[in-house]
């Protein structure tokens, strides 16, 4: 019997700089699935507002920016900056922004034969029926070190301590809101990459997805 949902969604959630982006893009390549990095949506909304001299705390303006978002804006290099990450985390607290970005993400999740979606609330809100769910995490120090090296590689002048402070602030903001608490879905598998290389993290992720895929293809097995 074919499963009711014909799309094999791989939901990859977790905090900032946990390694979820790398794991997600490697999985997408392995399975030949399209990938959506939902952090880019929030980053692009934040940059839209900043570029228009808008106020990140203005819920109405932020929602309007989200509704006017065009996918080409996700390609702009500025969405990958530290400033965009901070702005994203601030606009993401507005329920109107999350609602405005819902359909786009949901449509992606319905694509057959499958997709990889990375974010914070994919396994809980966007695709709660996803057959494969990972919650990728790592200690704040390890995440700060990874993000710091990435930003320095992009030419940003930042210190490790500044990035560690950013990470802690973001965890608090991302995890502490009622509209989309960043929590692990009950059926997500936790993957702590603190002590892992990229290769090891990918290998562990692949095994989690293979187990989910076998179960999905054989619901009674
Ligand atoms: O994954 P990232 O660091 O690019 O995400 C940037 C911010 O966007 C993050 O701090 C919180 C927000 N975000 C969100 O609220 N929900 C998502 N699905 C993805 C990102």
- In tens, the pLDDT along 6-50 reads 899 999 999 988 999 999 999 999 999 999 999 999 999 999 999
Is a pLDDT exceeding 60 seen at residue 180?
Answer: no
Quick check: CB of 146 below 6 Å from ligand 1? no
Q: What percent of the chain has pLDDT over 70?
A: 94
pLDDT band at 170 (very low <50, low <70, confident <90, very high): confident
DSSP state of 74: G
Structure tokens at 26: 């490697």
Both structure tokens of 98:
């999350």
Rg of the chain over all Cα atoms, to the nearest angstrom: 17
The per-residue pLDDT for range 73-123, each reduced to its tens digit, is 999 999 999 899 999 999 999 999 999 999 999 999 999 999 999 999 999
Q: How far is the CA of 1 from the centre of ligand 1 (A)?
A: 37
**Is 37 in contact with 16 (CB distance < 8 Å)?**
no
Domains of the chain are 8-217 (3.40.50.300)
HSE value, Cβ hemisphere, 13 Å, CA-based, for 110: 6
Q: Indicate which atom in ligand 1 lies nearest the CA of residue 174.
A: 11
For ligand 1, say whether the CB of 91 is within 6 Å of any of its atoms: no
What does the alpha-carbon distance between residue 81 and residue 37 come to, in Å, rounded to a whole number?
Answer: 15
Mean pLDDT in the chain? 92
Q: The whole model's pTM is what?
A: 0.93
Protein residue closest via CA to atom 18 of ligand 1? 119
Burial tier of 221 (Cβ tally within 10 Å: 0-12, 13-18, 19+): exposed
Task: Please tell me the residue having the least CA distance from ligand 1 atom 9.
Answer: 89
């Amino acid at each position: 019997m074919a499963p009711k949902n014909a799309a094999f969604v791989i939901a990859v959630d977790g905090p900032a700089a946990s390694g979820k982006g790398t794991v997600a893009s490697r999985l997408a390549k392995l399975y030949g699935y399209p990938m959506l990095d939902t952090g880019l949506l929030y980053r692009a909304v934040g940059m839209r507002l900043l570029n228009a001299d808008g106020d990140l705390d203005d819920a109405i303006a932020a929602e309007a920016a989200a509704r006017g978002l065009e996918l080409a804006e996700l390609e702009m290099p500025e969405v990958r900056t530290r400033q965009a990450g901070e702005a994203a985390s601030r606009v993401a607290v507005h329920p109107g922004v999350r609602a405005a970005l819902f359909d786009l993400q949901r449509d992606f999740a319905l694509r057959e034969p499958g997709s990889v979606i990375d974010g914070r609330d994919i396994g809980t809100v966007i695709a709660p029926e996803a057959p494969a769910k990972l919650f990728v995490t790592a200690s704040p120090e390890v995440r700060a070190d990874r993000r710091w090296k990435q930003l320095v590689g992009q030419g940003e002048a930042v210190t490790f301590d500044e990035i560690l402070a950013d990470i802690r602030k973001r965890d608090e903001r991302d995890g502490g809101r009622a509209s989309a608490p960043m929590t692990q879905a009950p059926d997500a598998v936790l993957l702590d990459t603190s002590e892992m290389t990229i290769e090891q993290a990918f290998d562990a992720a692949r095994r989690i997805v293979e187990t989910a895929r076998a179960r999905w293809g054989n619901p009674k097995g």
